[in-house]
């Protein structure tokens, strides 16, 4: 492998590239599905190949090949350089990369010994059988990567992952219908410990909510968000708009742009209590990595400090655009995908309130525990979050469950935060971006927190 990778670098440089990056990646695993207690499918897969990025003639080229013999890889190098030069002819400014102290490092995590079919058989026993639909999917796989670059990086990693998805629907013609999607997983066997209990509780809860939840009276409420809500809110309204390639328009036609604009990066997005971080190297997490796919060592990215935007998720290309250093945000989901700025584990940092104190301190509000039917516009300014499990708060006490939607603009959501709890938790997600699309493992979370006077509609 050494010879293959290093010959590829030399060959790319000899063709006139100023930078060459070669990444070997192998993903192998098993995925299975159960439908209402019955086996639906079982598939194993093995995806392996080499990706090459080259900067040449002022442009960036990318090529990938599943062929691992020298001839196949050199052919990919040749194509990457050729495409870079062609791209360069249509650029006003040449592509540049930030200068970095690059890693030469190797790491691996213990394997996850779980069979997806066996896991689903067990888990299905715990799901409430009165549900109309219980659809379960389990995925266990290992990702191995070796990244070498012409300016010195050489990094090998081996990371296993497990992912569980459950779609649970309770449908009662007289009462209506409720759906809960549950996501669990991580990079260690421990990350799915307790999955049975989660599925049991979440599936039973649907019947109770269907019977008891009442439509909320539209209006302004103080909203207390759970750690799960903190996660989706952070991911959508802070993580994505802080991706530097998005700010500079590279995702303009697809994943969108940002409410943060190139001419004004240091914007205030929240109150003094809002601190938001993205940190890949949290052990066991689904978004875990130690070095990114350009060979830059991961560190906490301090996206928001005391309510102000302070740092953005970047790769080397976009770090160079703002004259800074990369903070190791470059990730690729498979051997045939290019590394682009992505989130990892993104969270609102904890404060000093006990979660119960936040509720008892709220006179009229809503405690929003979990969500459904969420979305946000493509600059990540205007969001809508459906209440799946939520309760009315009156004079500091939880009352009956409610249904409705929080519709909120990002500056209002974070600007009105006046209490942040201690109970940090992270939740699993698969984040979409890029063309071709790249679903990448992430977590998102935070503690319980309160934002005052938000608009709630039915």
Smaller CB distance to other proteins: residue 70 or 101?
A: 70
Burial of residue 221 (number of CB atoms within 10 Å: 0-12, 13-18, 19+): buried
* DSSP structural state of residue 243: B
Nearest distance in Å: CB 265, other proteins = 17
Nearest distance in Å: CB 247, other proteins = 11
CA gap 449, 355 in Å, rounded? 8
Nearest distance in Å: CB 54, other proteins = 11
CA gap 306, 405 in Å, rounded? 28
Q: CA 125 from chain center: how many Å?
A: 30
* DSSP structural state of residue 238: I
The tokens describing 149, both together, are 């670059």
Nearest distance in Å: CB 305, other proteins = 27
CA gap 118, 122 in Å, rounded? 6
Nearest distance in Å: CB 56, other proteins = 11
Nearest distance in Å: CB 328, other proteins = 20
Smaller CB distance to other proteins: residue 39 or 107?
A: 39
Whether 450 and 362 have beta carbons less than 8 Å apart is answered as yes
Smaller CB distance to other proteins: residue 136 or 298?
A: 136
The CA-atom distances, in angstroms, between 250 and each of 334, 338, 434, 443 are 20, 13, 9, 24
* DSSP structural state of residue 264: B
Place of tokens 């927190």: 449
Smaller CB distance to other proteins: residue 225 or 405?
A: 405
The tokens describing 430, both together, are 């698969």
Smaller CB distance to other proteins: residue 60 or 417?
A: 60
CA gap 328, 325 in Å, rounded? 9
Smaller CB distance to other proteins: residue 100 or 338?
A: 338
Nearest distance in Å: CB 279, other proteins = 26
CA gap 173, 206 in Å, rounded? 14
Nearest distance in Å: CB 212, other proteins = 17
Instruction: Please name the helix (run of DSSP H) or strand (run of DSSP E) that holds residue 270, with its range, or none.
Output: none
Smaller CB distance to other proteins: residue 9 or 376?
A: 376
Smaller CB distance to other proteins: residue 329 or 447?
A: 329
CA gap 72, 293 in Å, rounded? 21
């Amino acid at each position: 492998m050494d010879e293959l990778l290093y010959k590829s670098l030399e060959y790319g440089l000899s063709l006139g590239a100023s930078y060459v990056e070669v990444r070997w990646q192998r993903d192998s695993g098993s995925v299975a599905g159960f439908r209402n207690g019955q086996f639906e499918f079982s598939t194993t897969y093995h995806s392996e190949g080499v990706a090459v990025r080259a900067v040449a003639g002022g442009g960036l080229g990318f090529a990938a090949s599943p062929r691992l013999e020298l001839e196949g890889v050199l052919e990919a190098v040749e194509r990457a350089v050729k495409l870079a030069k062609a791209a360069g002819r249509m650029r006003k400014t040449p592509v540049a990369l930030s200068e970095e102290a690059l890693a030469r490092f190797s790491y691996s995590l213990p394997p996850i010994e779980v069979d997806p079919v066996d896991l689903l058989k067990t888990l299905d026993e715990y799901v409430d059988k009165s549900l109309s639909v219980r659809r379960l999917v389990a995925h266990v796989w290992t990702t191995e990567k070796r990244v070498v670059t012409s300016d010195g990086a050489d990094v090998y990693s081996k990371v296993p992952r497990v992912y569980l998805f459950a779609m649970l629907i309770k449908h009662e013609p007289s009462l209506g219908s409720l759906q809960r999607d549950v996501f669990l997983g991580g990079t260690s066997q421990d990350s799915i410990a307790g999955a049975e209990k989660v599925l049991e509780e979440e599936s039973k809860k649907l019947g109770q909510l269907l019977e008891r939840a009442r439509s909320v009276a539209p209006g302004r409420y103080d909203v207390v968000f759970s750690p799960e809500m903190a996660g989706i809110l952070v991911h959508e309204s802070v993580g994505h708009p802080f991706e530097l390639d998005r700010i500079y328009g590279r995702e303009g036609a697809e994943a969108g742009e940002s409410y943060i604009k190139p001419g004004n990066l240091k914007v205030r997005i929240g109150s003094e209590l809002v601190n938001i971080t993205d940190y890949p190297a949290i052990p066991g997490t689904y978004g875990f990595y130690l070095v990114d796919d350009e060979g830059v060592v991961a560190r906490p990215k301090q996206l928001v400090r005391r309510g102000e935007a302070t740092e953005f998720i970047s790769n080397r290309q976009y770090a160079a655009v703002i004259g800074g250093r990369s903070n190791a945000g470059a990730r690729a989901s498979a051997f045939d995908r290019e590394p682009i700025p992505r989130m990892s584990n993104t969270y609102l940092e904890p404060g000093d309130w006990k979660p119960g104190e936040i509720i008892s301190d709220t006179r009229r509000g809503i405690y929003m525990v979990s969500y459904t039917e969420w979305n946000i516009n493509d600059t990540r300014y205007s969001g809508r979050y459906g209440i799946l499990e939520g309760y009315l708060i009156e004079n500091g006490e939880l009352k009956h469950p409610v249904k409705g939607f929080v519709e909120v603009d990002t500056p209002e959501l974070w600007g009105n935060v006046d209490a942040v709890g201690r109970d940090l938790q992270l939740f699993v997600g698969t984040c979409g971006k890029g063309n071709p699309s790249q679903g990448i493992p992430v977590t998102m979370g935070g503690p319980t927190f309160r934002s005052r006077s938000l608009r709630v509609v039915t």
